[in-house]
A and B are shown apart, each in its own frame.
Chain A
Amino acid sequence: MTTPLLEVRHLSRSYGRVRAVDDLSFAMARGQITGFVGPNGAGKTTTMRIAATLDIPDGGDVLVDGVSVLVEPRKVRQRIGYMSDQFHPYANLDVLQYLDFFARAHGLRGRRRQQTVRTVASFCGLTGFADRPATGLSKGMGQRLHLAKTLLHDPQLLILDEPAAGLDPRARIEFRALLKELAAAGKTILISSHILPELGETCDSVVVLEKGKRVVAGTIAEIQRSVQHQQAVQLRLLGEVEAAEKFLATQPDVGEVAVDGDRVRFTYAGGDEEMAALLARAIGAGLRITEFGRIEADLEDIFLQTTKGNLQ
Chain B
Amino acid sequence: MTAEAAPVVAAPIPDRLDLLTRLSDRLNPILVREVQQAVKGRVFVLTVLGALFVNVIIALVVASNYKGGATGGRGAFDAGLATLAPLLLFIVPMQAYQSMQSELRGGMIEQLLMSELRPLRIVAGKLGAAMVQFVLYLSVLSPLLATSYLLRGVDLPTIAVCLSCALVFCVAATSFAIAAALQGMLPAMRPIAWLGMAFGLGSASLGMVGYIGSGQCLRDVGWLLRSSEFGMVTSAVLCGAIAGTALMALVAQAYLAHTFENRSTGFRVFLLLAPPLSFAWVYTFVQASHRDDVVPVATFLLSLLGIVFGIFMVSEQQKLSPRVRAHVPRNAALAACSSIFLPGRDRGMACWIAYFVLLAGLALVLWPATGRGFLNMPQSFARVSTLTLAYAAIYLTLGKWLRGRLPETVVFNHGARFLMPLLVVVGCLLPLLFDVLVIGGVDNWHFGHLLNPFWTIDRAVRDSGAAIRGLVWTLGGGCLLVQLPAMVRGLLEVTAAAAARRAQAATVAPASAVEG
Contacts and interface: CB of A to CB of B under 8 A. Distances in A.
B47 to A, nearest CB: 15
Given A102-B115, A110-B25, A73 B258 contact: yes
A245 interface: no
B37 A91 contact: yes
A73 B261 contact: yes
B64 interface: no
B326 A128 contact: no
Given A86-B107, A131-B6, A71 B112 contact: no
A114 B13 contact: yes
A93 B116 contact: no
B8 A96 contact: yes
Contacts of B1: 125, 127-128, 174
Contacts of A265: none
Interface string B83-124: 000000000000000000010011110111111110000000
B29 A105 contact: yes
A88 B108 contact: yes
B9 interface: yes
Contacts of B10: 127
Given A90-B33, A92-B37, A153-B115, A84 B6 contact: no
Interface in B1-41: 1-6, 8-10, 13, 17, 21-22, 25, 29, 32-33, 36-38, 40-41
A72 B259 CA distance: 12
A110 B17 contact: yes
Of A92, A128, A174, chain B has the most CB atoms within 10 Å of the CB of: A92
B322 A111 contact: no
Nearest to B36: A97
Interface stretch (A52-60, A225-233, A288-296): A52-60
Contacts of B8: 96, 130-131
Interface in A67-120: 68, 70-74, 77-78, 80-82, 84, 86, 88, 90-93, 96-97, 101-102, 104-107, 109-111, 113-115, 118
Given A93-B40, A102-B115, A105-B112, A73 B260 contact: yes
B323 interface: yes
A81 B40 CA distance: 29
Contacts of B17: 110-111, 114
Interface string B365-394: 000000000000000000000000000000
Contacts of B36: 92-93, 97, 101
Interface residues of A, number: 48
A127 B3 contact: yes
Interface string A124-139: 0101111100000000
Contact of B9 (A81, A93, A113, A118): A118
Contacts of B33: 90, 93, 97, 101, 104
Contacts of A73: 258, 260-261, 323
A149 interface: yes
Contacts of A96: 8-9
A122 interface: yes
B116 A122 contact: no
B107 A105 contact: no
B37 A68 contact: no
A144 to B, nearest CB: 9
Contacts of B21: 110, 114
Interface in B37-66: 37-38, 40-41
A5 interface: no
A209 interface: no
A200 to B, nearest CB: 25
Interface residues of B, number: 43
A164 B412 CA distance: 38
Given A101-B33, A118-B9, A131-B8, A86 B106 contact: yes
A70 B33 CA distance: 31
Contact of A127 (B5, B102, B108): B5
A106 B5 CA distance: 26
B106 A129 contact: no
A28 interface: no
A80 B5 CA distance: 29
Contacts of B113: 54, 77
Contacts of A54: 110, 113-114
A110 B13 CA distance: 10
A42 interface: no
Given A52-B114, A105-B117, A111-B17, A128 B5 contact: yes
A121 interface: yes
Nearest to B16: A111
Given A84-B110, A127-B3, A101 B32 contact: yes
A92 B326 CA distance: 42
A107 B321 CA distance: 28
A168 to B, nearest CB: 14
Contacts of B107: 84, 86, 88
Nearest to B106: A88
Contact of B6 (A86, A101, A130): A130
B108 A90 contact: yes
Interface in B244-282: 258-261
B111 A127 contact: no
A104 B117 CA distance: 9
Contact of B114 (A68, A72, A77): A77
A149 B258 contact: no
A127 B258 contact: no
A48 to B, nearest CB: 12
A72 to B, nearest CB: 7
B3 A104 contact: no
Contacts of A77: 113-115
Nearest to B27: A104
A223 B259 CA distance: 37
A84 B112 CA distance: 12
A56 B259 contact: yes
Nearest to B28: A104
Given A71-B326, A97-B33, 11 more contacts: A88-B108, A90-B37, A93-B36, A96-B8, A101-B29, A104-B29, A104-B32, A106-B115, A115-B13, A118-B13, A128-B6
28 contacts: A56-B260, A70-B260, A70-B321, A77-B113, A86-B106, A88-B105, A88-B106, A88-B107, A88-B108, A90-B108, A91-B37, A92-B36, A92-B38, A92-B40, A93-B40, A102-B115, A106-B115, A107-B116, A110-B22, A113-B25, A118-B13, A122-B9, A127-B9, A127-B10, A128-B3, A128-B5, A129-B3, A130-B9
Top 8 A-B residue pairs of the complex, sorted by shortest distance between their CB atoms: A128-B3, A88-B106, A104-B29, A105-B115, A92-B40, A130-B6, A125-B1, A92-B37
